[in-house]
Structure formats: C-alpha cells, structure tokens
Structure 1
C-alpha cells in the first residue's frame, strides 16, 4: 500500500466522520462504485459520484454523530482493506425499531480501490 493511498483513505474517513460530503466527493472517481454489505448481503449500492452524493446526503440526516476509527490496514489483491470500529448516535427513528438518540456500535471492514489518485471502489462490511 502506498503512502498516498493511505493518505487518501485517511482523508476520506476524516471527511466522513465530520459530515464533510464535499470533502468525501473530492476524493472519489466520477465512476465510483459503492456497496454496503450487511449479514453477507448487498444492502445498498450506488454507481457513479452523483448516486453516491445522494446517498451520503441522506445518510448524514440519520446520524447526529458518527465515527469510524481505523484499527488496521492491509493490502489485498491491489485493494486496501481497513478494519474499523464504528460508533454513531441516531438523529432520527429508523424503520427497524431503533430510536433517535440510540447509540450504534459495531466492528466492520471497508475495502478501497484507488486508481490515479481517486477512490474507484468502496465496499463496507458489517
């Protein structure tokens, strides 16, 4: 993993944690592919920066705070995998029964692919 790839990922996580959507988008390739996996199934997928922006704006409304902490980095098949500790506080009630003010804590991983200095793939697993 190059120092530059690590800096791009660190910058993305920092922007995510501070709800800086424009900062996140600045690091993404125009054709970025995003997938969120929950319990082994794809729960969300976006293709392209415009769909990602819409998802990011909607997601930002759900949380009053959120923090991803990177616990490790590894290089696998040209991609960078990070292990994360995730903590968030809900700003709204969710259909699954979670309520505003509830705290979510989980461990997961994210896989990033970076080409030409831009993130082309993000896969989140929880």
Structure 2
C-alpha cells in the first residue's frame, strides 16, 4: 500500500531520521523541490536533507494522506511548523524566526518504494513570515 511507505517517510521526517527517509526511497528517486532543480538519486536527496536540517527545524502536522487506486501514486497535505535556523543563500537572514505554512507533496511508487517526490508550498508566504 503506497500510503504505508509515504507514512513511513513522513514519520522519519518528523523524527529527523534521514536514513529512515532514505530507506523509503527508490535508488533513482526523482526529487522535485519547490523553486529548485530536480535531484536524482539517494545521494542527492541525502545532501538536500543535510542542508535543510542545517537551515530549518521543521515538524509536519495536520497530515492527510491520499492514495490513487492501484497504489502507484499518493499525495499528502500538511502544515509545516518550522524555525529558520541558518540563512539559506538567496533568502532572508535567519534569526530563529518561526513559521507555519501549508504544503503538499505528490509521490510515485515503484517496487514498494518512493520513486518520485514533488513538494509544493507558497514561497512568498514563507518569505513574508520570516522577513
């Protein structure tokens, strides 16, 4: 069931367990981030997660998971509750500002692993909250 692997992925995210997140991913995962380049593979995903952990402390709440018939796709809607820890290049200066932001992710599932992750949120809203 695709919702199970997606739930495990988000549980690992909230536990700040990058290895747990990686265990949910297909080796050639395509990671589509909001306002960024597509990253291919677990190594690129792990590098992104390390950067995010350095700059942001986030917990996802109000999670609603959806699964397409057949289990090849899933989606999630949630709230990102965060603290901006370290200035991310090109973004406002970090001063431990808090933020709360609705977001969503879309997933493709292959061989019981996540093969594609697409994440969306309103960057202008986030910038307004941390500025």
Q: Same fold (TM over 0.5)?
A: yes
Q: Match of 1:57?
A: 50
Counterparts of 2:103 and 2:60 in 1: how far apart (Å)? 10
Matches within 5 A, 1:4-83: 4-38=1-35, 43-63=36-56, 65-69=57-61, 70-75=63-68, 78-83=72-77
| Runs of 4+ residues over 4 Å off in structure 1 | none
Which residue number in structure 1 is paired with residue 126 of structure 2? none
- Aligned partner of 1:86 in structure 2 is 80
Q: Which runs of 5+ in 1 are unaligned?
A: none
State the shift of 1:11 in Å: 0.9
Q: What runs of 5+ residues in structure 2 fail to find an aligned partner?
A: 122-131
Q: What TM-score do you get using the length of structure 1 for normalisation?
A: 0.83
Change (3 A) 1:7 1:57: same
TM-score for the superposition, normalised by structure 2: 0.80
How far 1:23 moved relative to its partner? 0.5
Q: Which moved more, 1:9-18 or 1:87-96?
A: 87-96
Q: Which has the higher helix share?
A: 2
C-alpha RMSD over aligned residues: 1.9
Name the residue aligned to 1:96: 91
Comparing both structures, which one devotes a greater share of its residues to strand?
1
Counterparts of 1:118 and 1:90 in 2: how far apart (Å)?
30
Q: How far apart, CA to CA, are the structure 2 residues paired with 1:72 and 1:98?
A: 33
Is 1:79–1:111's contact at 8 Å kept on the other side of the alignment?
yes
1:60 to partner: Cα distance:
0.9
